[in-house]
Structure 1
Amino acid sequence: MRTKNLLIVSLLSFLFSCTEKPKPSILPQIIPEPTVIEVVASDFVLNDNTEIKASDDFKVSSDFLKAYVSNGSAIRLKDHSGFNTISFEKDEKILNSEAYKLNISENEIIISASTDQGAFYAVQSLRQLFPASFENGTFQENQVAIKGLSIEDEPQFNYRGMHLDVGRHMFSVDFIKKYIDALAMLKINTFHWHLTEDQGWRIEIKKYPKLQDIAAFRNETLIGHYSDQPHQFDGKKYGGYYTQEDIKEIVAYAQDRFVTIIPEIELPGHSQAAIAAYPELGCTGEKVEVATLWGVFEEVYCPKEETFKFLEDVLDEVIALFPSTYIHIGGDEAPKTHWKACEACQKRIKSEGLKDEHELQSYFISRIENYLNSKGRQIIGWDEILEGGLAPNATVMSWRGTKGAVEAAKQKHNVIITPTSHSYFNYYQSTNADEPLAIGGFLPLDKVYNFNVIPKELNKDEQKFVLGAQGNLWTEYIKTSEIAEYMAFPRVIAMSEVVWSKQENKNYEDFVSRLEWFHKRLDSLNINYANHLYEVEGELISNNKSIHYKLQTLTKDKVIHYTLDGSEPELDSEIYNESIPIPTSTTIKAAVFNTKEKLGKTFSETINLHKAVGQNITISKEPHRAYSGSGARGLINGISGSNTRFGDKEWLGFWGEDIEIVIDLGEESEINSVETRFYNGKGQWIFAPEKLEIVFDDNEPETVLISKSKDLLVDVIFEKSTQVRFIKIRIPNYGTIPDGLQGAGNKAWTFIDEIIVN
């Protein structure tokens, strides 16, 4: 009788809970986009009578879901119900360990996977069907409708990574956990943790206490940008490190979210902090300080036995803390200056039968690789580890474009694609003047999203060596966790879709629509993301007959209002419907509005209708595909590039090449001057040329010397009154970057802006 009464009470409770209909379910806006998704008619109602059924095979994923519901709402799931259930089912036919199926019907949610990890990713998709208020525990209802649907999903790449540099600026254990939480939500499975740098050593190594006492702290930090002259510093000691207990806690936390942490211990370069603690590790043995300036330094590990013993001891403690198969050993930006002058180094070159210092670096990397292989681990290194010959089992992380990835894959080495052009989230993401200070560059959201991971130079067999891709967050100019979030989000969200979703399924307009919805979830998670969805983009459309200006915005169901008189756009300003005729030089201002208010920031573009606008232009070399701007015509479209974002659509970048530009004015015209400007961001390997030549028609070339300015922008003005049709400009590349500067030994970049003919 008691059992019967309990059943009646439970039934009445269930029926009573259903008397009030839940709010309408959320249409699926899942990021990253699932492989296959179909919406069905009936919704599932989650309430106090819902039961979660899961075997021990799905303990992590089911526990995560239970905690998500109980922490996010007042709903209390039943141990036994029988009315509606969420079931975790093992499906051995699902071969990909990260794949899953999610079926939501009126009475049941079924999560199918062959592993707990696959089920965990199903849960991450399911959580995006819950109201965003679940994320911070403010959901007030006693039930919630979950949209009925069917999903079959799997990742396109096994390696889906996100990086964080803590050497330049350090972040709390709580923030590292928050960072990992966000990665897991986006189905990113690897956290690349950059732990050692010239400016600070951030991991406790018990055998070498000076790494904590000395290497972990710098005396002061640069104020402003590296390119600002003269350099100024704050005079404040800065530093810290993660204890081994901190790291164990973080590693365990990540494992519960199926995120693998790959530690990076930089060698042989970026090692000045360690050498400051133990000067005998360097080539000179002289005392140095932990670096206070950003950049590349000549203090590198000396390849002698004492150094290898130190590094092996360090790595022993590292691998005891991190269970990852991979250990990242850096290998990038290691100047050879000290090695060339070092007796021990030259002796090592001779005894090992090496050709030069580049092969000495290969020897250094190979020796470390052999040691880690003997411990059952593999190495990852930046693409400089290709120099002098690639270590036998190394995986290459290609950051200087994709050339290193192509070279390594053709040698049958695994590669991870992470080029500066699409993966460096420490670059500016907007042309707004109030953006946080950044190292430079320009990487907007759409460029990240449209990244195609597989280099076109690889054939089908070679493509198998591409493990995946990752985003990078270097923190020279990122002092706080709030700025770190702002720089990473939403670009890491776009990257999650790059590495998870099928290339043929990707659609930027649809992604933007889903991202606008996803912002509510980021708000609830208290993630300080950059919102540029309500900004206006512009494009000049020119030919010999007419010049128009086109405006657009990313988001749907919004209105653009604009002005041509320099005033701020308002609700009663002109509504943009079609491209705007531009008969004379003008300034366009525009903004996105809904029916009540302005949503984004004001867009402003000044158009200078000089004599070359709309004419023909050719360049002897194609701009680098990573910095192709608006193409050749972008150099004479009447619009100057950003003063700080050298990678925007108005600047053109050329790597190590001399170029010749020819402008055809269509007919002989009277001119008074030719102007242009070059970016001179030496901290980013970008150098203005030392001279250029201008040729009018078939006349003799005239040389224009360019001052060796320390400014970021170098203006060139050549004044001459003449009649001319063809203007030819020859621009020699700066050449090889000198020792002592960032990128030493590499070819310099040339970045050129608008060419103005008056």
Structure 2
Amino acid sequence: MRQRRTIPRLIGSLLLVATAGVGCGEATADSRYAGTGTDGKAAAAAEPEVRPLGRIVPVPASVTPEGEPYTLTRATRIGVDSASRESKALGRYLAGLLRPATGFPLPVVDEAGARGGIRLRLSPGDTALGDEGYRLRSGPGGVTLTAREPAGLFRGVQTLRQQLPSAVERNSVQAGPWKIAGGTITDTPRYAYRGAMLDVARHFFTVDEVKRYIDQLALYKINTLHLHLSDDQGWRIAVDSWPRLTTYGGSTEVGGGPGGFYTKEEYREIVRYAASRYQEVIPEIDLPGHTNAALASYAELNCDGVAPPLYTGIKVGFSSLCVPKPVTYDFVDDVIREIAALTPGRYLHIGGDEAHSTSHADYVTFMDKVQPLVAKYGKKVVGWHQLTGTKPAEGALVQYWGLDRTPAAEKERVAAAARNGTGLVLSPADRSYLDMKYTKDTPLGLAWAGYVEVRRSYDWDPATYLPGAPADSVRGVEAPLWTETLATMDDLDVMAFPRLPGIAELGWSPASTHDWETYKVRLAEQAPRFEAMGIDYYRSPQVPWPGE
């Protein structure tokens, strides 16, 4: 899926050579990358007519195969509770997923009229299913999806979708048959927070491009979209009280491209679309560092009153808001107020990482003044783990992005905050950063955290990863996708896939199911689905892909 980008992948490679000295080559010359119909290297082997129950990603908590499969036919109806707006919307969503490839009408009707079809059933009394759990029962007489909450039905729809042949993802009529294995899946998530971050500051991505990523995340039961909306290279969200943030600060990106920004209405559309996929949007305004786009837009935000030039490189740590100036807090108050008003979710991310140009004393002063502003506008703080160098606000989440080799003292500082009640979201850079190179030959991405092959990104346990942090302090995991070297949707695809599904499984599936040897087989079986969805992906030699 080639997009409008004017900066080719080679720019990312050249930037990397300049900063890390790592060899690279053009993506089209690397046979480990699967094109979507461009070179024939990714042709999928034939799939079984009936996918074994539960052989999906993320793997379900409980699977009981039993009896014959259900077959979707032209006569199939989707039954919902007609009194529930959410149920009707989910029925239409499911029908919209299945109609293009099956060619079946799949009318959405009241549940009583769907005998022998697919039923979506809300059961408020089924408390064991929690907020996102579901039960799927399948047999020759029909399929019933049961959940306590609409979010659970939505997660169950993703399971139903993956149980069908991968061709169901195509936009033209396919041959079928369309069978779902018989039996029962009962499934609830391990963690309530299962996130993915998209950096739209280094390279800008349009509303439609963000929606495409949201749909990819939905398939793997991700429930949080963290949008990195500001950085040195660009400011991407309209703020009425400070309009030059976007008209000037958003006018470029890494490599000197035209940049871009979201109007308030466009941001609302992203939030609305994410909510329709049961994803909560967390906006991030990175403070007090990573602020050159803001400093360039308004001279008064600089201690010397002089605006620096716009920045299109990829260095970090050189910028800082002026902590002693009162105008700094007027600025931050306005930004948080306006973005909080646009965001129905619980959280607002204030960054806090790599503030190398801010003294520790100033950093503490700044965070002590800014965290209460988040609460003032009805949100809870999320910050990168450097926030533990101050006192995290009550109810705050700290996002840990350190490495296996991060000094023990830094890890202990984060663990101590966790023991004092601060929640943790784990995003270790050498495990979950999707922009890290797979190997030294990967043409895209960076390598400062090391090379992160597919097994490395999957094979760790969030509950035990950070020494000294209580297991119950871990709220979940997140897979960040930084875009210093990523300029197109193809670039995002090839770095996110196939690592993103593994992070999603760490967040959803029970620890007892964690096993690389079985996971890599299920992951390999996702390849035809990637291709049907038009997703470029990296054909890691660690995974037994079809046809290899």
Q: TM-score range by the shorter chain?
A: 0.7 to 0.9
Q: Which amino acid aligns with 1:451?
A: W
Partners of 2:390 and 2:150 in 1: CA distance: 43
Partners of 2:176 and 2:167 in 1: CA distance: 13
Partners of 2:52 and 2:321 in 1: CA distance: 56
Give unmatched runs, 5+ long, in structure 2. 1-47, 404-410
Q: Is the counterpart of residue 305 in structure 1 residue 326 in structure 2?
A: yes
**How big is the shift at 1:169?**
0.7
**How big is the shift at 1:389?**
3.6
Q: Is the counterpart of residue 206 in structure 1 residue 202 in structure 2?
A: no
For 1:212, what is the secondary structure of its paired residue?
Answer: helix
- What is the TM-score normalised by the length of structure 1? 0.61
Q: Is the counterpart of residue 119 in structure 1 residue 153 in structure 2?
A: yes
Q: In the alignment, which of 239, 261, 268 is matched to residue 259 of structure 2?
A: 239
- What is the TM-score normalised by the length of structure 2? 0.84
Partners of 2:87 and 2:380 in 1: CA distance: 29
Partners of 2:133 and 2:445 in 1: CA distance: 40
Partners of 1:38 and 1:46 in 2: CA distance: 21
Q: Which amino acid aligns with 2:90?
A: S
For 2:436, what is the secondary structure of its paired residue?
Answer: coil
Which runs of structure 2 are paired with 1:353-752 in the superposition (5 Å)? Answer: 357-401=359-403, 402-431=411-440, 433=441, 435-440=443-448, 441-455=450-464, 462-532=470-540, 535=541, 554-555=543-544, 599=548
Instruction: Tell me if the contact between 1:204 and 1:242 (Cα under 8 Å) persists in the aligned partners.
Output: yes
**How big is the shift at 1:74?**
0.9
**Which residue does 1:74 correspond to in 2?**
103
Partners of 1:64 and 1:417 in 2: CA distance: 31
Q: Which amino acid aligns with 2:52?
A: L
* 1:606-652 per-position Cα deviation (integer Å, ceiling 9, x unaligned): xxxxxxxxxxxxxxxxxxxxxxxxxxxxxxxxxxxxxxxxxxxxxxx
Q: Is the counterpart of residue 315 in structure 1 residue 344 in structure 2?
A: no
Q: Is the counterpart of residue 270 in structure 1 residue 290 in structure 2?
A: yes
Partners of 2:74 and 2:281 in 1: CA distance: 37
**Which residue does 2:165 correspond to in 1?**
131
Give unmatched runs, 5+ long, in structure 1. 1-22, 223-235, 338-356, 536-552, 559-593, 600-758
Q: Is the counterpart of residue 292 in structure 1 residue 318 in structure 2?
A: no
Distance change (3 Å), C-alpha of 1:36 and 1:318: same
Instruction: Tell me if the contact between 2:415 and 2:468 (Cα under 8 Å) persists in the aligned partners.
Output: no
For 1:478, what is the secondary structure of its paired residue?
Answer: coil
Q: In the alignment, which of 25, 41, 45 is matched to residue 50 of structure 2?
A: 25
Q: Provide the aligned C-alpha RMSD in A.
A: 2.2
Instruction: Tell me if the contact between 1:439 and 1:477 (Cα under 8 Å) persists in the aligned partners.
Output: no
**Which residue does 1:46 correspond to in 2?**
72
**How big is the shift at 1:109?**
0.8
Equivalenced residues, count: 483
Structure ranking higher on relative contact order (CA contacts 8 Å, 6+ apart):
2
* 1:15-36 per-position Cα deviation (integer Å, ceiling 9, x unaligned): xxxxxxxx93233421100001
The more displaced of 434-443 and 118-127 is: 434-443
Distance change (3 Å), C-alpha of 1:217 and 1:186: same
Distance change (3 Å), C-alpha of 1:112 and 1:405: farther
Q: In the alignment, which of 117, 132, 136 is matched to residue 85 of structure 1?
A: 117
Partners of 2:466 and 2:212 in 1: CA distance: 38
**How big is the shift at 1:459?**
6.8
For 2:481, what is the secondary structure of its paired residue?
Answer: coil
Q: Is the counterpart of residue 178 in structure 1 residue 212 in structure 2?
A: yes
Q: Which amino acid aligns with 2:435?
A: N
Distance change (3 Å), C-alpha of 1:147 and 1:275: same
Partners of 2:220 and 2:373 in 1: CA distance: 35
Partners of 1:434 and 1:372 in 2: CA distance: 40
Percent identity over the alignment? 30
